[in-house]
Amino acid sequence: MNSLIKIEHGSGGKYTFELIKNVFLKELGISESNYTFEDSYVFNKNNEKIAFTTDSYVVNPLFFPGGDIGRLAVCGTVNDLAVSGAIPYVISAGFIIEEGFEIDNLRKIIRSMKKACIEANVKIVCGDTKVVEKGKADGVFINTSGIGFFEENLNFSYRNAKPKDLIIINGEIASHGIAVMNERHKLGIKGSIRSDVSPLNGLISMIKNIPGIRCIKDLTRGGLAEGIIEISLACGFGIEIDEASIPINKSVKSACELLGIDPLYVANEGKIIVIVDSKYGDRVLEKMKKHCYGRKSAIIGRILYENGVYLKTISGMRRMVISMSGEQLPRIC
What part of residues 5-24 is at the interface with its own copies (CB under 8 A)? 5-10, 16, 19-20, 23-24
The stretch among 130-138, 159-167, 233-241, 278-286 that binds its own copies (CB under 8 A) is 130-138
Does position 145 bind its own copies by CB under 8 A?
yes
Does position 93 bind its own copies by CB under 8 A?
yes
Does position 289 bind its own copies by CB under 8 A?
no
CA–CA gap between residue 273 and residue 245 (Å, rounded) = 13
* CA proximity to 203, closest of 274, 153, 97: 274
What pairs with residue 64 in β-bridges?
67
Cβ-based nearer residue to its own copies, 53 or 328: 53
Among 31, 103, 306, 315, binds its own copies (CB under 8 A): 103
Q: Indicate the SS3 state at residue 186.
A: coil
Cβ-based nearer residue to its own copies, 45 or 186: 45
Counting Cβ atoms within 10 Å, is residue 117 exposed (0-12), middle (13-18) or buried (19+)? buried
| Shortest separation between residue 19's beta carbon and its own copies, angstroms | 6
What pairs with residue 49 in β-bridges?
44
Does position 153 bind its own copies by CB under 8 A?
no
Does position 149 bind its own copies by CB under 8 A?
yes
In the window 37-76, what residues touch its own copies (CB under 8 A)? 40-41, 43, 45-46, 48, 50, 52-58, 60
84, 165, 195, 306 from 269: Cα distances, Å = 16, 24, 7, 30
Q: Indicate the SS3 state at residue 301.
A: strand
Does position 129 bind its own copies by CB under 8 A?
yes
CA–CA gap between residue 199 and residue 205 (Å, rounded) = 12
Does position 132 bind its own copies by CB under 8 A?
yes
Counting Cβ atoms within 10 Å, is residue 274 exposed (0-12), middle (13-18) or buried (19+)? buried
Does position 29 bind its own copies by CB under 8 A?
yes
| Shortest separation between residue 1's beta carbon and its own copies, angstroms | 7
Instruction: Tell me the angle at which helices 250-259 and 175-184 cross, rounded to the nearest 10 degrees.
Output: 60
Cβ-based nearer residue to its own copies, 106 or 304: 106
Amino acid at 148: G
Cβ-based nearer residue to its own copies, 53 or 323: 53
